[in-house]
Structure 1
Amino acid sequence: MSEETSISSPSVITPEHPSVVYSYKTTQTNNARWLYLEDIYQKFYRPYIYDLGGTYIEDVADYWFQYKTDLISGVFLLHIFVLNRNDGPFSVAITTTNVMEFEKKSSCVFLQSSLKEFKFPKVKELKQNYLATFSFKEIDVELLKGKQFYIPITFIVNELDDELVERVKSKHDFGYLLKEPLCSDFTIEASDGYKFQVHQALLAESSEVFKAMFKDETAESQRRYLKLSDVSKEDLQCVLEFIYTGTIAEVENCNIFNILQLADQFNLGGLHDLCQYVLTQHLSTDNALETLQYADFYNAGFLKKATLKMIRNNKDIIKSSMFKELKSVELARELCEYLAL
């Protein structure tokens, strides 16, 4: 749990506001600030599990919230749960106080905004994750009659990125050896002639492809030199930075499609995962078909699944000229079958 943060109660808010999670309204995950619990007064007297609503990235479902009401010995309990639509880590912050604030100029009631963060490091798709429980006395519930009830919440996007980086990060950071290649014993040349002085041990530890190259009596191992005629200096720099440090400091500045290709080519699993995550975060209706082709060709299963979901939720994508340019007949068939589900 992190330090407490807060969200100011808005002067005017409705369930249709972009920051409110409610029903099947497509609230963007990075905009989500409030959970709206409709008819909460009645539902306190009808203990059950209720769907609350979800958040999205573009039009792709990202998270889904549920809540459960209980009445035990005169105490009304409200339990909040979140389901993640994809495998992987995430962090969410929610208030943990039951102190209510009443908006005088409207019928809105807000739980006091003092957020605490909850981290979920390794979570399977569609797992129901418990967040918080709030308890109320009968007099509190009576005050909610006819009111719109909001609970403050937010997703910690930066912390999510940190979790992913930690998952793929190496035990040691050897970035200084890439900047000052002390005791280097191998040279890799990019397409523009730029040469990187590297260390066979680090490359072999990160990649089975490099390990096999150095172990066998290949021309590269004999000459201690590898020419990558189709790889730019910038792309090679990103790959080597990951090998030496376990991450890429400015990953947004990399050509991620190219890096995904190289990660697949050299069997760099952690880099492959990182590329899929970055491309998923930038997935849109404009690039979905292009991304799908890359994901299919370079064995990016997670990215492929997210892209198929986006296309199924935005079927007009297949009306674009890009659909006719799909090179893989098998992929086109797979896409059509997925849309028919």
Structure 2
Amino acid sequence: MENGDVSPLNNCQTKEAKRLCIYDVGTKLNTPDQYDIGGTYTKDESDLWFFCSTSLCPGYQYLLNIFVCHRKPGNISVGISASDVLKYKVNIGSVTNNVLPSSLSWQTLRAVEADEINHVRTFCFTEMDMVRMKYETLIIPLSIVWEPKCLVLESVIKRVKVKHDFGDLLSNEDNKDLELKTPSGRTYKIHRLVMAAHSPVLRNAIKNLKDNSLFLDINDRDLELLLKFMYTGTIRNVSELNCIHLLEMAGKFELRSLFLYMQNVIKTQITVENAMDIAVISEKYKLEDMQKNIFQFVKEHPQVLNTPSWKKLNDINLTKKLLENIYEDSI
């Protein structure tokens, strides 16, 4: 066991984290469930806890889904192996380890409250990989930056979307294990794992189900839009959609990935009429990057302060921050 190993047997310091160690990985992948990986700390204070879930997809594709639980609010940048291809084996004592490539894929994750959970990455393994790993340990290269100065870059978001595009699964009826019902009476068959990975709200609802059916009070068009985003990581023709409505749906289901996506899209959709409505949402969900864009827009378009949305604004904290930003150069 080394200092940078994240495992149940090691109190790894967050700044020193270099590897996720998943013991007996073959058995875990063959037994779909949720498993603890281990935590990271600052001295003796717990910062993060990593865990994984496993599932079997059509064509005997074994999914290993990595999640992180934030023990306290804050932002982290996580770099994790960008490849599913097993690179080599190393022997440490009597334990054989399978190692994934060291090239990292980065994303920034935000927790507004303690114990929030974010999806980090999904790895996909074949039957041949399963034979190779069997009862061995999987080592996944990892790096963590606590409170990064720069949040997610658009190029990073694009790479993450490509890596997590499960669009083919949406149209494939095999192994769909959950039905979503809407007020119209329509039924949508989906994978509960995909729902649970994206939305804490849906994850809690699924946990309490007594059968394989879940009713959602949402219209068919909005549900189809959300399903497309959850499975593909993107929204087609997003410029033609109501950005405020999308943000409200992201808030309703706590879709942090949709918030991140919209923070980049919203820059092209701010208008004098909707600027304050977007500002209210950004304040409610602590979307700092989006709020900075809104404040700059208002500063450049003072006519926003003549709109009905501004006149009915009753959020004192948001009003104070907005005025401080507008007049910062004259203070």
Give the TM-score taking structure 2 as reference length.
0.48
Q: Which has the larger radius of gyration?
A: 1
